[in-house]
Amino acid sequence: MEAKDTFFSKKYLINCRGSLLDLSQPRIMGVLNVTPDSFYDGGRYFQEKAISEQLDKLIAGGADIIDVGGYSSRPGADHIPVSEERDRIRPVLDLIRKKHPGLIVSVDTFRAEIAREVVEDYQVDIINDISAGEMDPPIFDAIAELQVPYIMMHMKGTPQDMKERAHYEDMMKEIMDYFSGKYDQLRKLGVNDIILDPGFGFGKTVQHNYQLLYNLNQFKIFELPVMVGISRKSMIYKTLDITPDESLNGTTVLNTIALMNGANILRVHDVKEAREVIKLVERYRTSTKNS
């Protein structure tokens, strides 16, 4: 692999509340789930003390963005009402804006109503939508009006049924066509800052996930930044026959491959380790470039 030709070569800037975040060098999104049933950290962060400590840990580790999620999207997770998602995330956003008013914050939601509230009430910088508008189509109009960066992910089906829908005739073509259509819709609405997330683990088998990682560089055809979320997922622990708790080493390996294949953002549970990956891969890249 010629690393110098595959990563860190495109200038990407996204507008976060008037400040430009440069994605031409990889960034880290630290995960802060406040759900009882997420596959790895579900139920860990409900008390204010635990949330505050985890937030401090993510920031100290070098997170560029904190992603707050109140809706579990693991396979087969229960669908919850808007009110429950709202009640989970608002106290966390209160805490973040009180302790770290300048922090770049993303909210992981597919709901237009939630997106509007968190941007207007908490000046949330980024909306991270697992369904790319499929589960709540009005979110596209909301993003266009709010003018915040939008992460759109590929997911086949919903968290409730995606495991049963992991069938493709040509997976890469289907995902590329999916993003092409969504991109056109968003551009016509005037959305400027779009980030792609191929959706590792969402309506895809373990083999699909490795095929997706191998072909990650193909998404550069869109000339948009790409986010990768493979932290502690089943493509790691099922392959190694271990648990999510034992999957940090595997996460590090696959994050390295993702960076070398063009990832601009790593969405992770373990920020310090991801920061080390970026530093080492960047050292490798510059050594290759200057050789």
> Catalytic amino acids?
233, 267
Q: Identify the CA nearest to 121 among candidates 141, 140, 144, 96.
A: 96
SS3 169: coil
| Rounded distance between C-alpha atoms, residue 289 and residue 291, angstroms | 6
Q: Identify the CA nearest to 234 among candidates 258, 203, 264.
A: 203
| Rounded distance between C-alpha atoms, residue 171 and residue 208, angstroms | 8
User: What is the edge-to-edge ordering of all strands in the sheet holding 265-268?
Assistant: 194-197, 150-153, 126-129, 105-108, 65-69, 27-33, 265-268, 227-228
**288: Cα within 13 Å, side-chain hemisphere:** 15
Q: Identify the CA nearest to 10 among candidates 197, 222, 212, 274.
A: 222
Give the relative orientation of helices 206-214 and 248-260 as an angle to the nearest 10 degrees: 40
Q: Identify the CA nearest to 29 among candidates 201, 228, 256.
A: 228
